[in-house]
């Protein structure tokens, strides 16, 4: 039997990569039902001040097709409590790159107060959407120099 019934995690999942897959696979090992919040295009633009490479509908479709994912929901909030009010999950997952940060210490306290745990999943080193964007830009620049 798994430790939790309903789990929740959230992210942009732009240029879907192995770090995203590892996160979702590990999260599903802890819970029977995994809900994934995918940031809307507007929300990413608002938070990161840059557009996503892949539009929301495609990012959501890709995440929904991952066998570890049971449900995809659109996310347009920083508040995990708002998400908890909607979905009533008993565990939230996040990469351990966030562990010990002021933001997640606060979120952890709030979620714990309603009986929800936070599990930090080992971050996959050496890959991220940002890293992929840099690699693509570099290879494009090299091509243009030739």
Selected binder of ligand CTP within 41, 97, 110, 117 (CB under 6 A): 97
- By beta-carbon proximity to ligand CTP, the closer residue of 1 and 30 is 30
Q: How far apart are CA 71 and CA 65, in angstroms?
A: 10
- By beta-carbon proximity to ligand CTP, the closer residue of 130 and 140 is 130
CB of 146 to ligand CTP, least distance (A): 28
Footprint (CB under 6 A) of ligand CTP, residues 98-127: 121, 123-124, 127
- HSE-up (13 A, CA, CB side) for residue 16: 16
Strand order in the sheet with 91-95: 71-75, 31-39, 4-11, 91-95, 117-121
SS3 category, 43: helix
Strand runs labelled E in 40-116? 71-75, 91-95
- HSE-up (13 A, CA, CB side) for residue 11: 24
- By beta-carbon proximity to ligand CTP, the closer residue of 46 and 144 is 46
CB of 133 to ligand CTP, least distance (A): 8
- By beta-carbon proximity to ligand CTP, the closer residue of 63 and 90 is 63
Contacting residues toward ligand CTP, per CB under 6 A: 11-13, 19-20, 23, 94-95, 97, 121, 123-124, 127-130
């Amino acid at each position: 039997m798994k430790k939790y019934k309903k789990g929740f995690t959230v992210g942009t999942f732009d240029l879907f990569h192995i770090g995203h897959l590892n996160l979702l696979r590990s999260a599903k090992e802890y819970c029977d039902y995994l809900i994934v919040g995918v940031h809307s295009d507007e929300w990413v633009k608002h938070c990161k001040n840059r557009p996503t490479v892949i539009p929301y509908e495609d990012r959501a479709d890709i995440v929904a097709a991952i066998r570890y994912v049971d449900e995809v929901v659109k996310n347009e909030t920083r508040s995990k409590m708002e998400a908890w009010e909607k979905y009533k999950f008993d565990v939230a997952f996040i990469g351990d790159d966030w562990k010990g940060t002021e933001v997640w210490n606060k979120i952890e306290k709030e979620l714990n107060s309603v009986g929800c745990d936070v599990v930090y999943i080992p971050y996959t080193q050496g890959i991220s959407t940002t890293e992929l964007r840099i690699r693509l830009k570099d290879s494009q620049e090299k091509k243009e120099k030739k």
